[in-house]
Chain A
């Protein structure tokens, strides 16, 4: 499949703060990509660059082969963008709102009437057609804004936290809507804080943390990969230095946390182990042989979300 979004070495600095640090990412045509990361990770920054609203400090980004910096008009033609925070023109009726944006996209007057009805039924707002936008609920406004992004039938939808501020029911509706858009053949690139929420509609995910892409790939693969991370907690009497040294030497420990820095009590080490059961028992055996006074050795169980949080913990300041 063809690549429709391509981000090459994208960096964005606001003064001293590096919001995006050499980001590389490719999105295939027709994919539904969840862009996951905590607050301040740089999701909105990435999306604003992709939607030609923000100039990157360095690096390049292409949408459908067009450079966002050099060919903004062509890029705007192929994308539909829904920002994280947006306002609506309160003094407009729902149909006028859609009519205005369709006109802004150059849709001829004759086509607009039918198109507005189609869009409204897609987002289930037909009954609100003659109402003023200000009378809509938050969820309805969100759906109206989504309908607006579809006015020019774009190939790519860039949605910044489409489910934020919605109640559980509205979240489910939004998810259904995204699924429907996927069947219409749209490429959807959307952001979220919550991995578990998007896992079942995404075809792939990209995890961003402090401006860096820390994981990217097919959702099934990612799930497997995340599952292979086992979080082990170990408590010993006395010094933990020898333990840490042995863990590093094993070559199977991806990340290690110990001491006050990670808010752990004396003698406790927590580590992310990528090996299998046999390798884990071998490691324990080695420690016993070295006469390390082990008090406890246990594996933490958790769902995808927890694993994800632990995997990324070390990188968050």
Chain B
């Protein structure tokens, strides 16, 4: 094989750059004008949005400085919302088709008889799908930093939010990839990916919305109020559930930063208990990173398997 002498630390990077699947997929995705037209249209949309928000601020007159901060924040939040949609819904859409399309086109068998390892195959698929999404996400960061000029947003807020988006795109992308390796058709893989993603992103808050008032009603309206540790347990349960959900994590982490000046945690007293309350963002990272690793492993296994039919 090739006899290049790069330091071993970077061999994985070289392998990634030479992954035939990455090269092929990117060639296909970036071929022609489509990819650039999409990027341009998307950036124009975001610019338009920012322009409208900014115009709203410029036309309003009184109390410049607080309004400037508010405008900064709203630019930040609206771009973040767009980015979240990309990470959550575009990522699995790209990856869910990636292996099933090979099956549907009857190219999967050809691929599986080559020496391309299952790991290289799915890494290539993942990298090519995510790199386009990361490109779309990163392309709007300069616009977002307009918020710094206006004030109202700290760098750490931007950093944490982008980190959350990246891990979400990775995890949901891997979810799509796993289902793509499992299912026969793109339709089945896409539908099942969206069902799971919607559950994680929309289903959990809805479920919480319906069950939490019910639980607290049961507990706190009874004659004897429950012992203090119950409240502590409930706080942790809520924290854990919130840390499974991207919107909740984005909002709560931001609140922790702005209200409590807490990056990782803060200490609170609940009914004479001193409680350490963790900021959900890094719990989210931990959970979704583990989830990603598991999915990566499961997908490799699925591709490696010699099937019975």
Contacts and interface: CB of A to CB of B under 8 A. Distances in A.
A68 B27 CA distance: 33
Nearest to A100: B24
A106 B307 CA distance: 25
Nearest to B308: A55
Contacts of A87: 105-107
B23 interface: yes
Contact of B24 (A76, A77, A83, A92): A92
A300 to B, nearest CB: 42
Nearest to A154: B113
A100 B306 contact: no
Given A54-B306, A86-B107, A152 B115 contact: yes
B114 A101 contact: yes
B130 to A, nearest CB: 20
B31 interface: yes
B111 interface: yes
Contact of A91 (B31, B110, B114): B31
B109 A79 contact: no
B28 A86 contact: no
Nearest to A99: B20
Contacts of B110: 81, 83, 86, 101, 145, 148
Interface string A50-86: 0111110000000000000100110011010101011
A96 interface: yes
Nearest to A96: B27
Interface in B102-122: 105-107, 109-116
B2 interface: yes
A194 interface: no
A160 B238 CA distance: 59
B2 A79 contact: no
Most B-side CB within 10 Å, residue of A101, A104, A105, A109: A104
Given A103-B23, A108-B1, A14 B106 contact: no
Q: For the side of the interface on A, what is the size category?
A: 20 to 34
Contacts, number: 80
A104 B115 contact: yes
A86 B115 contact: no
Contacts of B1: 106, 108
Contacts of B306: 52-55, 69, 72
Interface string B293-307: 000000000000011
Contacts of B31: 91
A77 B115 contact: yes
B215 interface: no
B258 to A, nearest CB: 48
Interface in B9-58: 18, 20-21, 23-24, 27-28, 31
Nearest to B27: A96
Contacts of A72: 306
B309 interface: yes
Nearest to B31: A91
Contact of A85 (B18, B106, B309): B106
Contacts of A101: 110, 114
A195 B256 CA distance: 78
Contacts of A242: none
A73 B106 contact: no
Contacts of A109: 2, 18
Contacts of A100: 20, 23-24
A288 interface: no
Give 6 nearest A-B pairs by CB, closest first: A103-B20, A87-B105, A87-B106, A104-B114, A104-B116, A55-B306
5 contacts: A51-B109, A51-B113, A73-B115, A87-B106, A103-B18
Given A92-B24, A103-B18, 4 more contacts: A54-B309, A86-B106, A87-B105, A104-B20
Interface of B: 1-2, 18, 20-21, 23-24, 27-28, 31, 105-107, 109-116, 306-309
